[in-house]
C-alpha cells in the first residue's frame, strides 16, 4: 500500500487561499484524469468541500508523488505552486488512512462532529468510480471511511459536539440568542438549491422562520426544494420559488439571506445589499495584506510534515483569518447574511453597511477556533485508531491473497495431472475407486497447505509483513502472471466493495 494524500484545509490555509483554490466539478474530473496520467499514480480520488481540497492517490514513489500531486493541485486550482506549497499538508500510508477516517468522523471539520462530510466523501468516491480512477485501494479506503464515520456517529455522542455549518452559522447570526427565538417570524431568502442550500432551507424551516423564498439558476431545482419544504411535517413555513433575476426585489423584503451557489463570481455585491436597504454603499476598504509566507523551499519539506504535522501553516492561517475577517457594522441588524459558498457569494464589504450582519466561511472558521470539544471526541479518536489498525491489517492480508490463491491453483493442477497419469497406468479402476483416490490426494494436499497458508496470511497482516508474498512466490516458483491474473479477477468482481 502506497497511499498518499496532498491537500489543504481550513486548518492549514487562510480562507482567502481556499477560496481561490476551490475546484468546480469539471475541474475535479480533469484533475483526476491528469493525476492518473502522471507517472507515480495508479489510482486517484479528490475530496473537495467548502473548507478542504485533498487529492488522494496510490503512488509508487513518495517524493515524486508529492511533487506531482502538489503541481497538479496548483495547475488545476489556478494558485501558483510557490504560493500554494506553504499551506499544503502531506500524509502517507497509515497516516493518510488515519487522516481520512478522522475527516469522516468530523474530527477535522470546521465544526467538530458535523455529519455533512460523509455525503461529500460518498460523492468523492462516486466520482472516482464513475471516471474509473478509484481502484482497489481507494475503493476500499473510502468505503471503510464511510463505515467508520457512521460508526462514530452511532456509537458516540459526537453529534452533540457537532453541528452543521448552517446551524453554527445561524447561531453566529443570532449573536448568543436562541436561534429559534431570533428566527421566529422572519422572512428568509435562500440562494441556491444544492445540498448545502437545501440543508439551510430545512434548518430555517425547523427554526421557525415564517417564509422562505428559494432562488436558483435552474428553476426546476428551486421548485423541487420548495415542494419538499411545503410538504415537510412539523413546520408551518410558507415557501415559494423565484428566478435568480428576482433576487434584488426579494432582498428588499428579506430579514435573513443564506447563499451557497457554485458561482465563480459574487452573487450579492455590496451595492446590491446597500440598494436593498436604501443605503449608499461606501467604497469598500481593501483588506490588509496577508502576512508573507515563508519561502516554499524544496518539496521534500512535506516529508517532515508527515511526522510533525502542519502547525506552522496552521498558525499562519489563523493569523491571516484574524486580519481578514471584515469588521461588522454596529447598531440594530436589519439584514442578516450567511454566506456558505466557496468561493464566496457575498461581498465582504457588505458587513460594513449599517444594519447588516454578515457571517461567512472565514468568520465561521474564526468563531469555531474557540468552540469547546465534546468529551466524546476522545472516544471517536479511539475508534479511528482501532479502525486504522484493522484497515492496515486487512490491506496487508489482501496483498498476499492472490499469491495464496495462485499456490492453491498450482497445487490443484499438480493433483489433476497426477490423477490423469494414474488413469493411464491403472485404466481398470472403477469410478468409485478413482473418486476415492482423487479425494484422498486432494485431502493430503489441502492439509499440507492449510497451516502454511493460514499462517502466512496472519504474518502478512502484521506491520512489515509485505515480504511474505514475495517469499511464497519464490519458494514455490509461482508464475507472476498467474498471481496478477488473480488480482485482476478480484479487482473486477462487480460485488467487490459494496455495502
As annotated, the active-site residues are: 50
Number of CB atoms found within 10 A of residue 312's CB: 14
Question: Which cell numbers hold the place of 100?
Answer: 481520512
What the block records as the C-alpha cell of 79 is: 494558485
Report which DSSP code applies to 316. Answer: H
Contact 264, 217 (CB under 8 A): no
Which helix (H) or strand (E) segment is 337 a member of?
strand 335-339
SS3 state at 380: helix
DSSP assignments along 78-103, one per residue: -S-HHHHGGG-EEEETHHHHHHHHHH
C-beta of residue 185 within 8 angstroms of C-beta of residue 385: no
Query: Among 68, 99, 71, 96, which Cα is nearest to 84's?
Result: 71
**Cβ(41)–Cβ(59) below 8 Å:** yes
Q: Which residues contact 283 (CB under 8 A, 6 or more apart)?
A: none
Return the exposure string of 16-34: e unless at least 16 CB atoms fall within 10 Å of the residue's CB, then b: bbbbbbbbeeeebbebbeb
Q: What are phi and psi of 231, to 5 degrees?
A: -95, -10
Helix (H) or strand (E) holding 359: strand 356-360
The three grid cell numbers given for residue 145, joined into one nine-digit string: 471511511
DSSP bridge pairs for 57 = 4, 44
How many Å apart are CA 353 and CA 271, to the nearest integer?
A: 10
CA distances from 38 to 33, 79, 278, 479 (A): 9, 20, 55, 29
Q: In this structure, are residues 469 and 397 in contact, taking their beta carbons and an 8 Å threshold? A: no
| Residue 327 burial (C-beta neighbours within 10 Å; 0-12, 13-18, 19+) | exposed
Q: In whole angstroms, give the CA distance from residue 338 to residue 364.
A: 10
**Cis preceding linkage at 343, omega within 30:** yes
Cα-trace Rg, the chain: 28
Q: How many residues does the chain have?
A: 499
Max distance between CA atoms of the chain, in angstroms, equals: 107
262: cell is 457554485
Which residues lie below 8 Å from residue 448, measured CB to CB, with a gap of 6+? none
Amino acid at each position: 500500500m502506497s497511499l498518499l494524500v496532498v491537500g489543504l484545509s481550513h486548518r492549514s490555509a487562510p480562507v482567502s487561499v481556499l477560496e481561490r483554490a476551490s475546484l468546480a466539478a469539471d475541474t475535479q474530473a480533469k484533475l483526476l484524469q491528469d493525476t492518473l496520467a502522471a507517472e507515480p499514480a495508479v489510482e486517484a480520488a479528490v475530496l473537495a468541500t467548502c473548507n478542504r481540497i485533498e487529492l488522494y492517490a496510490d503512488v509508487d514513489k513518495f517524493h515524486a508523488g508529492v511533487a506531482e500531486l502538489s503541481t497538479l493541485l496548483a495547475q488545476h486550482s489556478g494558485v501558483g505552486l510557490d504560493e500554494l506549497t506553504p499551506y499544503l499538508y502531506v500524509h502517507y500510508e497509515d497516516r493518510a488512512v488515519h487522516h481520512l477516517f478522522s475527516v469522516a468522523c468530523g474530527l477535522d471539520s470546521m465544526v467538530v462532529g458535523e455529519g455533512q462530510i460523509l455525503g461529500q466523501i460518498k460523492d468523492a468516491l462516486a466520482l472516482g468510480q464513475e471516471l474509473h480512477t478509484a481502484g482497489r485501494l481507494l475503493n476500499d479506503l473510502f468505503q471503510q471511511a464511510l463505515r467508520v464515520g457512521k460508526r462514530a456517529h452511532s456509537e458516540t455522542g459526537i453529534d452533540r459536539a457537532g453541528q452543521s455549518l448552517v446551524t453554527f452559522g445561524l447561531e453566529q447570526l443570532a449573536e448568543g440568542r436562541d436561534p429559534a427565538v431570533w428566527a421566529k417570524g422572519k422572512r428568509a431568502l435562500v440562494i441556491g438549491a444544492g445540498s448545502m442550500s437545501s440543508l439551510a432551507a430545512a434548518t430555517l424551516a425547523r427554526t421557525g422562520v415564517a417564509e422562505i423564498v428559494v432562488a436558483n439558476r435552474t428553476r426546476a431545482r428551486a421548485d423541487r426544494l420548495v415542494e419538499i419544504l411545503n410538504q415537510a411535517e412539523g413546520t408551518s413555513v410558507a415557501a415559494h420559488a423565484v428566478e435568480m433575476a428576482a433576487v434584488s426585489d426579494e432582498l428588499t423584503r428579506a430579514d435573513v439571506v443564506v447563499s451557497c451557489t457554485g458561482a465563480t463570481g459574487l452573487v450579492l455585491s455590496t451595492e446590491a445589499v446597500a440598494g436593498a436597504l436604501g443605503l449608499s454603499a461606501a467604497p469598500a476598504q481593501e483588506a490588509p495584506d496577508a502576512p508573507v509566507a515563508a519561502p516554499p523551499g524544496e518539496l521534500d519539506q512535506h516529508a517532515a510534515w508527515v511526522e510533525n504535522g502542519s502547525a506552522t501553516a496552521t498558525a499562519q492561517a489563523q493569523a491571516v483569518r484574524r486580519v481578514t475577517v471584515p469588521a461588522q457594522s454596529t447598531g440594530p441588524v436589519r439584514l442578516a447574511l450567511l454566506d456558505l459558498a466557496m468561493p464566496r457569494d457575498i461581498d465582504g464589504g457588505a458587513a460594513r453597511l449599517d444594519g447588516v450582519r454578515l457571517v461567512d466561511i472565514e468568520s465561521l472558521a474564526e468563531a469555531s477556533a474557540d468552540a469547546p470539544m465534546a468529551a466524546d471526541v476522545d472516544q471517536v479518536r479511539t475508534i479511528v485508531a482501532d479502525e486504522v489498525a484493522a484497515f492496515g491489517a486487512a490491506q496487508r492480508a489482501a496483498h498476499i491473497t492472490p499469491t495464496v490463491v495462485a499456490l492453491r491453483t498450482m497445487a490443484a493442477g499438480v493433483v489433476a495431472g497426477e490423477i490423469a497419469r494414474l488413469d493411464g497406468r491403472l485404466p481398470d479402476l472403477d469410478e468409485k475407486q478413482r473418486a476415492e483416490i482423487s479425494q484422498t490426494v486432494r485431502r493430503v494436499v489441502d492439509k499440507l497447505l492449510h497451516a502454511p497458508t493460514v499462517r502466512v496470511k496472519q504474518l502478512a497482516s502484521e506491520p512489515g509483513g509485505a515480504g511474505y508474498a514475495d517469499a511464497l512466490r519464490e519458494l514455490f516458483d509461482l508464475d507472476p502472471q498467474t498471481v496478477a491474473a488473480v488480482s485482476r479477477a478480484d479487482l473486477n468482481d462487480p460485488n467487490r466493495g459494496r455495502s
